[in-house]
Chain A
Amino acid sequence: MNIATADWQALWLTLKLAGLTTLLLFIIGVPLAWKLSQWQSRWRHGIEVLITLPLVLPPTVLGFYLLLLFSLNYAPGQWLSQLFDGPLVFSFTGLVFASVIYSLPFMVQPLLAAFNANGQRLTQAAAALGIPPWAALLKVLLPASRAAIVSACALTFAHTLGEFGVVLMIGGAIPGETQVVSIALYQHVEAMEYGAAHRLALMLMGITTVLLLAARWLGYSLAPRGSNNEQAKPVMGVLG
């Protein structure tokens, strides 16, 4: 097989994985961050630590435990393989599953910061006008947190693009199925194909840089500057 074709395939797979992970995490992350921001319990700290763990753990540790979780020798793995019609190890579905867990803090943390800053004040104001909680989330809190949402999605996407350790542990390097750019790059280096490695590395760096710049620009343009309203400031803070 032509090496360039395999690289394009890896790039496409990586973008598909990052896009799907971002979409799934948006659907999971928004209600999760919202519930967490409203939850007045000491258990909240435990849940927040759990969500933050992938940020600090070496990816191989997470990958190792996911490998055990997906293993057909144990009940969860058997149940998951039935649910997804096949084992999750060495499959794209398994990769998506792992990425969602791995990138969870990158989606939830910026949202949580925005919701903590704005959430209670705005949902109280919405409720005080007869707006029910879910409508308050969709019509009040999300528009107020637009900049944080852009930031969270961009971070999640960019982070999933560069994922290596978890993919290596549970995905391997099956071309077209689990061979993402970071793995292909590693294989090029191992085979001393430095030209191909350069091409992939530069491509990934370019995509990530453009993405983060675009997110930053969009984030700033969504949160009006010269504002004397304090509501906008925490959102700006999320973007750093």
Chain B
Amino acid sequence: MEITLPLFGTASTTSDSTGLSVSGLVTPLNAATPWQLELPASGIFGLTGPSGSGKSTLLAALAGQRHCRGNITFANTVWLRGRRALATHKRTLSLGFQDSRLFAGQSVADNLALARRYSRRPLPEEECGRLLKAFGIEPLLHQPVELLSGGEAQRVAVLRQLFNNAPLQLFDEPFSAVDRAQVLRRLLPTLRDFWARYPALVIWTSHDFDEIQLLAQRCLWMDSANLSAPLSLPEIAQRLDSHGVGDSCRSRIEARVESLSDGLLTLDLGGISIFADRVAGHYRRGDTAAFLLEAGDISLSVEKPGLSSILNCLPVTLVAKQNLTDGRIRLQLAAADQMFYADISRLSCERLELREGTTYFAQFKAGSLAGL
């Protein structure tokens, strides 16, 4: 019988574990609790948890930029076995840093070109052009990187990583200095769209749960150097709430794409059409689109409202009511097997005499669907 072992630092032809396999990974931070992790070869995974819990250390250890011991294998290639580690540049990954770390003394274009030149899977020219446009980097191409603002530098750093197109892409709070509206409306749909066409295993670290909700289906949780296995998004939301770090006032909703005309995207949510405008992603009929709905953007009516400039009107069932500390009421609503939250004033709640289990009509503007 022939036994094939994963080779150290060389690609092997076995197909036992094409994804990321981490076992017994110990850094000075988690000496007592070795990290274990199994992830597939492609897919987007969030990584969140309280500050100082060890998220950046985990990424640095995966990239071989932190002293550690244990086992790391990716795509059947051994990166770490015991204390024997493969050099960072030989690992088929890219790591983005919180402080961007653009190459000083060079232009934005030089930075991007260098990342593409050393790519193991170079992107086609037209894809690079598309990304440049979507990230709004075209006007900055010939600027020295020293002259970029913090948000611009972060956008360039993420783009540099995309141009590198590594099979494993690690991001460490990449959009912390970028304008939120731009992230939700433009950058995240572009990223989701990009990774749908160029699959990679992505670990996206962020304190912003909105980012993770829009990009990932599952998320890793790190707390006091304890790393969880991938969890579902509601499980992560619960943990964030219990730590007081989360602000779950935006709900993630999924709907099927029906059509796109006049800049208005029509989505099917359990048989009811809803509309979204200012759409940035490339959608095809039948795609499943995920978006966020701000709790404060939703109004509730007892009877079906007449014609209104507010395009979206969704029959919803009131599941639960919760008093918020600021006097408002948070309503948990269900529509077509999906849950979302709406925040209304106590006065509205009393006037409408809202009762759990009853059907109402939730209204929201087409522009309030973020992340499409």
**Are A128 and B114 touching (Cβ within 8 A)?**
no
Using Cβ atoms and an 8 Å threshold, which residues of chain A touch B43? Answer: none
The listed residue (A132, A144, A224, A228) touching B103 by CB distance below 8 A is A144
Give 16 A-B pairs besides A130-B164, A143-B104 with Cβ atoms closer than 8 angstroms.
A128-B93, A128-B94, A129-B118, A129-B164, A130-B119, A130-B120, A131-B118, A136-B89, A143-B110, A144-B104, A224-B147, A227-B146, A228-B149, A229-B104, A231-B101, A232-B146
Minimum CB–CB distance from B50 to chain A (whole Å) comes to: 25
Closest 9 CB pairs of A and B: A125-B101, A128-B95, A231-B104, A127-B88, A144-B104, A143-B105, A227-B146, A229-B146, A127-B89
B89-122 Cβ-contact flags toward A at 8 Å (1 or 0)? 1001111110101111110001000110011100
Interface residues of B in 333-364 (CB under 8 A from A): none
Of A41-49, A66-74, A116-124, the one touching chain B: A116-124
The listed residue (B96, B103, B166) touching A130 by CB distance below 8 A is B166
**Are B89 and A125 touching (Cβ within 8 A)?**
no
Minimum CB–CB distance from B243 to chain A (whole Å) comes to: 29
Using Cβ atoms and an 8 Å threshold, which residues of chain B touch A223? Answer: 105, 146
The listed residue (A131, A133, A145, A222) touching B114 by CB distance below 8 A is A131
Residue of B nearest to A228 (CB): B149
Minimum CB–CB distance from A37 to chain B (whole Å) comes to: 15
Pull 16 A–B residue pairs with CB atoms less than 8 Å apart, ordered by A. Answer: A122-B101, A125-B102, A127-B89, A129-B160, A129-B166, A130-B164, A131-B114, A139-B114, A140-B103, A143-B104, A144-B104, A146-B105, A226-B147, A227-B147, A231-B145, A235-B104
| B residues in contact (CB < 8 Å) with A | 63, 65, 87-89, 92-97, 99, 101-106, 110, 114-115, 118-120, 144-150, 153, 160-161, 164, 166
A127–B93 Cα distance when bound, in Å, is: 10
Minimum CB–CB distance from A219 to chain B (whole Å) comes to: 12
A231–B144 Cα distance when bound, in Å, is: 12
A73-92 Cβ-contact flags toward B at 8 Å (1 or 0)? 00000000000000000000
Minimum CB–CB distance from B77 to chain A (whole Å) comes to: 14
Interface assignment of A135: CB less than 8 Å from any CB of chain B: yes
Using Cβ atoms and an 8 Å threshold, which residues of chain A touch B148? Answer: 229
Using Cβ atoms and an 8 Å threshold, which residues of chain B touch A143? Answer: 103-106, 110
Minimum CB–CB distance from A220 to chain B (whole Å) comes to: 13
**Are A144 and B119 touching (Cβ within 8 A)?**
no
Interface residues of A in 92-128 (CB under 8 A from B): 118, 121-122, 124-128
Using Cβ atoms and an 8 Å threshold, which residues of chain A touch B153? Answer: 229
Using Cβ atoms and an 8 Å threshold, which residues of chain B touch A144? Answer: 103-106
Using Cβ atoms and an 8 Å threshold, which residues of chain B touch A126? Answer: 89, 103
A136–B104 Cα distance when bound, in Å, is: 12
Minimum CB–CB distance from A109 to chain B (whole Å) comes to: 20
Using Cβ atoms and an 8 Å threshold, which residues of chain A touch B147? Answer: 224, 226-229
Minimum CB–CB distance from B178 to chain A (whole Å) comes to: 15
**Are B89 and A224 touching (Cβ within 8 A)?**
no
**Are A130 and B89 touching (Cβ within 8 A)?**
yes
Using Cβ atoms and an 8 Å threshold, which residues of chain B touch A231? Answer: 101-102, 104, 145-146
Using Cβ atoms and an 8 Å threshold, which residues of chain B touch A133? Answer: 89
Residue of B nearest to A130 (CB): B118
**Are A122 and B103 touching (Cβ within 8 A)?**
yes
Using Cβ atoms and an 8 Å threshold, which residues of chain A touch B88? Answer: 124, 127-128
